[in-house]
Chain A
Amino acid sequence: MSKKTRTFEEKLERIGEIVSQLERGNMGLQESIALFKEGSALTKECKRYLEKTELEIQKVIDESGSTEKFTA
């Protein structure tokens, strides 16, 4: 499982899977705890992403893609 390369979207999807797996409740204790831990960690990561990522507006200034801060 390459957790680090997961996008926000994939993380949300994975959390959804985990929740429904847990809700089905037909797994062993260790497996359930592992899922719970994974789910909680992903939820925290997503929340942190929303808290920490702020809107950033920039302007591309040449064809090579250099950018500068956009000022109206």
Chain B
Amino acid sequence: MGSASSELPEAVAKRVSEERIFSVGRLTRTIKETLESNSDLREIWVRGEISNLTYHLSGHVYFTLKDENSQIKCTMWKSNASNLKFKLASGGKTIVRGSVEVYEPRGEYQLIVKEAYEDGLGDLHKRFLLLKEKLSKEGLFAEEHKKRIPKFPKTIGVITSPTGAVFHDICNVISRRFPHVRILLVPAKVQGDDGAQSIVAAIHTANGIKEIDLIILARGGGSLEDLWCFNEESVARAVYSSEIPIVSGIGHETDFTIADFVSDKRAPTPSAAAEIIVPDAMRIETELQQYADKLVRGLQNFVSLRSERLDGLTIRLIRSMKYTAQNKSGGVKTMQGKLGSLDPTSVLKRGFSITLLGKQLVIDAKQVKRGDKLKTVLASGQISSEVE
């Protein structure tokens, strides 16, 4: 070191030793360590306006956040930028969360941004919560006020923008699932200052068309401001007082508007609303065919059960007739036997005979006297004789 110090300019050498002179790298590292270890500069929230915005091809986003007096460079890595719920915009008032870091090669400090939010929405959000609470207390969201959604609507009123993809998407889904309905587009402005008024008017119009048995209230995705008209009290009240059941499909799955809470059923998206409100025609046709088969089988079963019973009864009837007949014929023989024993000829066959005096049966010897002519009847033939 001794030799190195000797190379120092005299003015410097007088005041500092060689080892106390910083390299740029060491200075930068010290700055980096100082800034990055300071908890006041880590995981902080910063409010400002965006400028010099670059969405890089790599997916990283670079911009400057500034206010009237100062500015700071900001970097948002791809992994965080992909979670953004909105598109950053130059001039946009924004609140970000991140940490200060130093980029040594350039000797620049910057804010590494992890999250970013649109600023100035606080008021809207507050209004949303207030209205939600108010209407909830009034019972506008209550389950008992929800109207029943018909399973097979015939005419569906679709309240949405006549331009844009939403109406087409809805028609496509219905056309694929159950192309046996009438769809009535009731056009409305679904964003902007007069959006709410237009939606309210459309709900009234739809309620005046008596064929409509179900309404879809739909709008594609957008920012909170874009969807704002669905958070207006007038829309909420119109949805509530609609005589026709309303299914809402507003924005994306994650968007919940006041209109969604009041509607009779909320679908996560416009297409999902279409999906929910019509049945699957293929399934219905299969079901009908099954019913038709079951009807025929039901009747066949009915007939075959009874004809089996009839067969069984017939067999029993015949059997019992035979039995009776047999019984009866047995009786006849007994009778014949009994009758037979009364027939005198059978007695004669056993060797008995009948003795007649003239025409009188002789059953007592006292009936006859000597010299009477007797006739003896045998089983076959007769004998004449004279009493001695």
* Complex CA distance for A54 and B175, rounded to whole angstroms: 9
List A contacts of B157 (CB < 8 A): 60
A59 / chain B contacts, CB cutoff of 8 Å: 162, 184-185, 187
Interface of A is mostly: helix
Whether, in the assembled complex, A64 has its beta carbon less than 8 Å from a beta carbon of chain B, the answer is yes
CB distance from B381 to the nearest CB of A (A): 73
Q: Which one of B6-14, B77-85, B279-287, B328-336 is at the interface?
A: B279-287
Whole-angstrom distance between the alpha carbons of A44 and B151 in the complex? 19
Interchain CA distance A7-B305 in the complex, whole Å: 35
Known contacts A9-B150, A65-B208: A58-B183 contact under CB 8 Å: yes
* Least CB distance, B280 to chain A, in whole angstroms: 12
B344 at the interface (CB under 8 A from A): no
Give Cα A29–Cα B302 distance, bound, in whole angstroms.
8
B291 lies within 8 A of chain A by Cβ? yes
Given B152, B174, B180, B285, which contacts A9 in the complex, CB threshold below 8 Å?
A: B152
Task: Contacts A50-B281, A53-B180, A53-B181 given; indicate if A63 touches B205 (C-beta within 8 A).
Answer: yes
The B133-169 residues at the A interface (CB cut-off 8 A) are 150-152, 154, 157, 162, 168
**A50-B292 in contact given A33-B299, A56-B182, A57-B171 (Cβ < 8 Å):** no
Contact of A50 with B180 in the complex, beta carbons under 8 Å: yes
A47: interface (CB < 8 Å): yes
How near does chain A come to B295, taking the closest CB pair, in angstroms? 5
Specify which chain A residues have a CB less than 8 angstroms from the CB of B287 in the assembled complex: 12
Chain A residues with CB under 8 A of B205? 60, 63, 65
Given A7-B152, A29-B306, A53-B180, A23–B185 Cβ distance below 8 Å? no
| Interface size class of chain B, counting residues whose CB lies under 8 Å from the partner chain | 35 or more
A19 lies within 8 A of B295 (CB): yes
Task: Compute how far the CA of A19 lies from the CA of B301 in the bound complex, rounded to whole angstroms.
Answer: 12
8 Å CB interface, B273-329 against A: 281, 284-285, 287-288, 291-292, 294-296, 298-299, 301-302, 305-306
> CA of A46 to CA of B151 in the docked complex: distance in angstroms?
14
**A7-B152, A25-B301, A64-B208 in contact; A50/B284 too (CB < 8 A)?**
yes
Q: Decide: A60 near B185, CB < 8 A? Known: A16-B291, A43-B291, A55-B180.
A: yes
* B168 CB contacts on chain A under 8 angstroms: 72
Which residues in B have their C-beta under 8 angstroms from that of A39?
291, 295
User: Which of chain A's residues has its CB closest to B182's CB?
Assistant: A56
CA of A63 to CA of B201 in the docked complex: distance in angstroms?
8
A1-40 contact mask (Cβ, 8 Å, vs B): 1 or 0: 0000001110010011011001101000100110010011
**B179 within 8 Å of A (CB atoms):** yes
| Minimal Cβ-Cβ distance residue in A for B290 | A19
Pair A60/B294 contact, Cβ less than 8 Å? no
Query: Is there a chain A Cβ closer than 8 Å to B217's Cβ?
Result: no
Chain A residues contacting B288 (CB-CB under 8 Å) are 12, 15, 43, 46-47, 50
Residues B292 and A8 in contact, CB atoms below 8 Å apart = no
Partner of B299, one of A36, A63, A65: A36
A49, A59, A60, A67 pick with most chain B CB within 10 angstroms: A60
Instruction: Determine whether the beta carbon of B295 is less than 8 Å from that of A65.
Output: no
Q: A residues within 8 Å of B by Cβ?
A: 7-9, 12, 15-16, 18-19, 22-23, 25, 29, 32-33, 36, 39-40, 43, 46-47, 49-50, 53-60, 63-65, 67, 70, 72
Q: Which 8 A-B pairs have the closest CB atoms?
A: A22-B298, A55-B179, A53-B180, A65-B209, A59-B185, A56-B182, A8-B152, A39-B295
